[in-house]
Amino acid sequence: MEGEDKRRVVFVTVGTTRFDSLVKSVDSEIVKQELFAKGYTHLLIQLGRGSYLPSKCEGDDGSLGVDYFTFSSTIAENIRSASLVISHAGSGSIFETLKVGKPLIVVVNEDLMDNHQIELAEELADRKHLYFASPQTLHQTISDMNLSSLIPYSPGDATPVAKHINRFLGFPDD
């Protein structure tokens, strides 16, 4: 139980995309060292459609434990049990992480053309709900980040939209 308590997992997710440069980046020595220095003990990577395979590592010899899988239907569970999430810029992963209040670094895939998802990550980073990095700058972001400065995201509310639709159609207000 003692060991379980000290487990601090970094969960990396690319969703259904192919994002090898992110997986390579988190698997690099420099990023692993920064994470270890910040007190994280394990790295769990969801690879998606990528082809780059990181090297697995138990992590009981004073280094970061590394494990990976390709797809899973229980990503939500992985996010909940993580201490830090590093994600691609998909809105699904972003809001799933913010909803459960986990610290998040969004890494943008610069290989995608016309990647409008950068807009969302930048906006949320401006509002200090998450950190925003590229595969090349990820190690710097990890070393500079101060999780206590992040502002918790308050989930949106669909009620005003529903109210508007009801009024438009002539339904009485409740």
Helices (H), 49-101: 75-80, 91-99
Cα separation values, 53 from 23, 56, 61, 160, Å: 8, 9, 21, 46
Q: Kindly tell me which of 152 and 172 has the beta carbon lying closer to other proteins.
A: 172
**Contact criterion met (CB below 8 Å) for 130 and 139:** no
122 binds other proteins (CB under 8 A): yes
152 binds other proteins (CB under 8 A): no
Compute the least distance from the CB of residue 105 to other proteins, in Å: 18
- Distant-in-sequence, close-in-space partners of 9: CB < 8 Å, separation ≥ 6: 40, 41, 42, 43, 44, 81, 82, 83, 84
Among 25-33, 75-83, 133-141, 150-158, the segment contacting other proteins (CB under 8 A): 150-158
Near other proteins by CB under 8 A: residue from 123, 136, 147, 151 = 123
Q: Kindly tell me which of 36 and 95 has the beta carbon lying closer to other proteins.
A: 95
Q: Helix, strand, coil proportions of the chain in percent (round to 5)?
A: 40, 15, 45
Near other proteins by CB under 8 A: residue from 49, 58, 72, 92 = 92
**Contact criterion met (CB below 8 Å) for 88 and 106:** yes
Among 30-38, 62-70, 113-121, 135-143, the segment contacting other proteins (CB under 8 A): 113-121
158 binds other proteins (CB under 8 A): yes
30 binds other proteins (CB under 8 A): no
Please give the residue ranges that form the binding site for other proteins (CB under 8 A): 16, 90-92, 95, 116-117, 119-120, 122-123, 155-172, 174
